[in-house]
Amino acid sequence: MTRQLGLVYDPRFLEHDQPFHPENAQRLKAIIGGLEEAGIWDKTVNIKTTPIAEGFLFRIHKPHYVDSIRKFAGSGGGMLDINTYLNSQSYQVALLAAGGAVQAAEAVLSGKVEQAFALVRPPGHHAHPSRAGGFCLFNNIALAAEHAIHNLGLERVLVVDFDVHHGDGTQAIFYSRKDVLYFSTHQYPLFPGTGHWKEIGEGPGEGFTINVPLPAGLGYEAYPRVFAEILFPAANRYRPELILVSAGYDAHWRDPLAGMRLSTKGFARLTRMLLDLAEEHCSGKMVLVLEGGYDLPALSASVAATCAVILGEDPQDSLGQSAETPYPLDDLLSKIKEIHRLA
Ligand SMILES: [Zn+2]
């Protein structure tokens, strides 16, 4: 089946850059180059990107924090913390990245396209209401979810975060809300340190945060099993009206910042499963938002494979697999099923 895939990309995303930092502009150049080379770029629909309105940004981020980012960039930038940089353009680029995620959700929910991929930088899932972190300034995916809920009237949005790091910002933003079900797989322990399976949300949000912390070394066998045994039953119970995906590709076996063993084919398989889930619950409505991924060949091949699967084509994988470390998942998965009362 051929689908309409919308892509958000704007060359201004390259202006937030610090050469030799892992989260640099070469990442997006590699992705776009890979999509062109695979013949995918021309089969997609371009979604025009405009900066997010500051007023809407304040629904997720505190005004004093937004102000501090604007001023810090205005003074030329520098390091905000040991991981996160700003240059003079970063505030404007971050507004544009957040706008891109929102407009991708808008394009899918208005029926312009069935799926969309927001190829944005800087990434977002470590950004909290009032602090940056882990290369992230504004939480792009949280703003897309908030747009779907507050502006378009949705009541249940599922966020699936397969970036190798826990999306601590996204979790914090929605921790006491039930209109967003946050599901994350991540290497654990690893930066940022959060994402224990006992973190399940609080108050009205209790049960609407699902964390699957995984030891390093897992890949093609483990991830689909986690999706099948935890994500699928949770989604069946939640009945999402939209699926947003924090698509980070740093769980690839080649990634320099982590130790997971997913292959390009593994990401293609996860994409297939997420599409199935979206088709079952919400007429295929799915929006991916780029997060991490720091090995350029792996990142570019995996994004291309993701898009190929959505377009109904065979994903290519010239990088191959790396053996995963056998690990008995039964105990962890049964604890998660028990705490979330999943059959
Ligand atoms: Zn990451």
- Say which residues have a Cβ less than 8 Å from residue 330's Cβ, sequence separation at least 6: none
Structural domain for 227, as ranges: 5-339
Look at the chain and report how many structural domains it folds into. Answer: 1
Q: What is the CATH number of the domain that holds 229?
A: 3.40.800.20
User: In the annotation, is 281 catalytic?
Assistant: no
Q: 3-class SS at 5? A: strand
Catalytic residue among 16, 126, 128, 281: 126
189 preceded by a cis bond (ω within 30 of 0): yes
Residue entry with tokens 């030799």: 20
Which uninterrupted H or E stretch holds 227? none
**For the chain (length 343 residues), average pLDDT per consecutive 10?**
88 97 98 98 97 97 98 97 97 98 98 98 98 98 98 98 98 98 98 98 98 97 98 98 98 98 98 98 98 98 98 95 93 98 90
CA angle 257, 288, 120 (to 5 degrees): 65
Beta bridge mates, 157: 180, 242
Nearest-CA neighbor of 194 among 207, 209, 205? Answer: 209
Q: 3-class SS at 28? A: helix
Distance of CA 241 to the CA centre of its chain: 18
The pLDDT value recorded for residue 156 is 99
Task: Return the C-alpha torsion angle 248, 253, 258, 259, nearest 10.
Answer: 140
The pLDDT value recorded for residue 343 is 75
Residue entry with tokens 């699926």: 243
The pLDDT value recorded for residue 3 is 78
Instruction: State the SS3 of 7-28.
Output: EECCHHHHHCCCCCCCCCCHHH
State the distance from the centre of ligand 1 to the C-alpha of 321, rounded, in angstroms. Answer: 20
The pLDDT value recorded for residue 2 is 61
State the distance from the centre of ligand 1 to the C-alpha of 162, rounded, in angstroms. Answer: 9
